[in-house]
C-alpha cells in the first residue's frame, strides 16, 4: 500500500515541480549564463592587454563592438543578411518538404524503407562540401547554388530520421489505426506522424543546423553576396574587427531562426 502511495506522491511532485520551483530555477540558470558571458568578456579584455594576443588574430572588443554598430546601421548589411536568411529559409523548406515526403512515401512499404535507410544514412555522413565546386558548376555562383547545396545536405538527415522514426513506431498504435478504419493518408497524419514525432523533430533540427552551416560555408567558398561573402571580403582585406562583427551578426541571426523554428515545431497544447 505504501509503495503505491509513495509512487502517486512522486508522480504528483514530478508534475508540480516545474511550475513551483521554476522561478528560482530559471533565475539561477540565467545568472550562470550571465556569469559565463562576463568571464568571456573579461578574458577577451585581458587578452587585448599590451603585449597580449595580436589584434590581427583577436581584435579589441571595443573595435568589434564599433564595427558591429557600423554594420547594423549600414543598409547594405541588411541586404546581404536578407540574402543569407532567404537562402537558409528556402533551403530548409525544400529539405523539410522533400525529406518528410520521401520518408513517408518510402515508409508505406517495408522493402523500400529498408532499402533506402542505409543510403540516407550514408548521405547523412557524406561531407557534401566536397561537392560544392560541382554545385557551382551545375547551378552557378548565384543564390541557387547555395540553396541547392544546403538543401541537399539537410535532406538526408531529415529523410533518414523520418524513416527511422516511422519504422520504430509502436505496433499498438498502428493496430488502433487499422481497427478504427484509418486510410493510408490518415494513418500517416494522425497515427505515424504523432508516434514518430520526436524522431522527425530531431531530424528537422539537425537539418536546420546543417542548412545554417552550409549556406554560410557556401557563401564563404564562392559567391558574390550574403554575409558569408562579407566575412570572406573583410578577412581578405585584414579588416579583422569587421569580420568578427559579421560573425556576431550571423550568430544572432542563426539564434533567431532557430528560435522561430522551435516555435513552429512546438506542439499546439502545452
Partner 1 sequence: MPGMTLPRNSVPERAHPTMSQLVLDRVSVTYAPKPDETLLACSDISLTIEPGEFVTIIGPSGCGKSTLLHCMGGMLPPSEGSVTFAGKQVLKPNPRDAAFVFQDYSLFPWKSVLENAGMGLKFAGGSRQAITQQARRQLDFVGLSQFAERYPRELSGGMQQRVAIARALALEPKVLLMDEPFGALDEQSRRSLGSEMARILADAGQTVVLITHSLDEAVFWADRIIVMSPRPGTIAEEIRLETPRPRDLDFMTTKEFQDIRVHLFEQIQLHR
The footprint of partner 1 (CB under 8 A) covers 15, 172-173, 175-183, 186, 190-191, 194-195, 197, 267, 269-270
Q: At what angle do helices 143-167 and 75-107 cross, to 10 degrees?
A: 30
CB of 208 to partner 1, least distance (A): 22
Percent of the chain that is helix, strand, coil (3-state, to 5): 85, 0, 15
Q: 7 vs 15, 16, 82, CA distance in Å?
A: 12, 14, 54
Given the complex with partner 1, which of 33 and 178 has the nearer CB atom? 178
Given the complex with partner 1, which of 127 and 181 has the nearer CB atom? 181
Given the complex with partner 1, which of 153 and 177 has the nearer CB atom? 177
The whole-angstrom distance between residue 49's C-alpha and the CA centroid of its chain comes to 36
CB of 18 to partner 1, least distance (A): 14
Given the complex with partner 1, which of 10 and 39 has the nearer CB atom? 10
CB of 31 to partner 1, least distance (A): 33
- Other beta carbons within 10 angstroms of residue 192's beta carbon come to 24
Given the complex with partner 1, which of 57 and 179 has the nearer CB atom? 179
Q: At what angle do helices 2-20 and 22-47 cross, to 10 degrees?
A: 50
Helix (H, G, I), strand (E, B) or coil at 77: helix
Given the complex with partner 1, which of 5 and 179 has the nearer CB atom? 179
d(CA 9, CA 1): 12
For residue 109, is it left (φ>0), alpha (ψ between -120 and 50) or beta?
Answer: beta
CB of 185 to partner 1, least distance (A): 10
CB of 183 to partner 1, least distance (A): 7
CB of 158 to partner 1, least distance (A): 20
- The sign of the CA dihedral 115, 118, 119, 121 is positive
CB of 181 to partner 1, least distance (A): 5
Given the complex with partner 1, which of 176 and 256 has the nearer CB atom? 176
What is the secondary structure of 131-156 as a DSSP string? GHHHHHHHH-SSHHHHHHHHHHHHHH
Cα dihedral 258, 264, 266, 267, rounded to 10, equals -170
Amino acid at each position: 500500500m505504501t509503495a503505491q502511495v509513495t509512487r502517486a506522491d512522486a508522480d504528483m511532485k514530478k508534475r508540480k515541480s516545474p511550475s513551483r520551483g521554476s522561478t528560482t530555477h530559471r533565475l539561477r540558470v540565467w545568472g550562470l549564463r550571465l556569469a559565463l558571458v562576463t568571464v568571456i568578456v573579461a578574458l577577451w579584455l585581458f587578452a587585448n592587454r599590451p603585449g597580449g594576443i595580436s589584434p590581427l588574430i583577436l581584435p579589441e572588443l571595443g573595435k568589434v563592438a564599433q564595427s558591429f554598430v557600423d554594420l547594423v546601421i549600414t543598409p547594405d548589411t541588411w541586404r546581404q543578411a536578407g540574402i543569407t536568411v532567404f537562402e537558409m529559409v528556402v533551403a530548409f523548406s525544400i529539405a523539410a518538404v522533400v525529406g518528410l515526403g520521401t520518408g513517408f512515401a518510402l515508409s508505406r512499404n517495408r522493402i523500400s524503407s529498408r532499402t533506402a535507410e542505409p543510403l540516407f544514412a550514408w548521405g547523412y555522413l557524406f561531407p557534401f562540401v566536397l561537392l560544392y565546386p560541382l554545385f557551382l558548376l551545375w547551378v552557378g555562383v548565384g543564390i541557387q547554388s547555395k540553396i541547392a547545396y544546403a538543401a541537399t545536405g539537410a535532406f538526408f538527415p531529415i529523410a533518414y530520421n523520418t524513416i527511422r522514426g516511422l519504422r520504430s513506431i509502436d505496433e499498438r498504435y498502428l493496430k488502433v489505426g487499422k481497427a478504427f478504419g484509418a486510410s493510408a493518408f490518415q494513418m500517416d497524419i494522425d497515427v505515424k506522424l504523432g508516434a514518430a514525432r520526436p524522431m522527425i523533430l530531431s531530424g528537422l533540427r539537425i537539418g536546420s543546423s546543417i542548412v545554417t552551416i552550409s549556406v554560410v560555408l557556401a557563401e564563404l567558398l564562392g559567391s558574390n553576396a550574403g554575409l558569408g561573402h562579407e566575412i570572406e571580403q573583410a578577412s581578405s582585406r585584414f579588416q579583422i574587427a569587421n569580420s568578427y562583427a559579421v560573425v556576431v551578426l550571423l550568430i544572432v541571426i542563426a539564434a533567431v531562426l532557430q528560435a522561430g523554428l522551435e516555435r513552429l515545431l512546438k506542439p499546439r497544447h502545452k
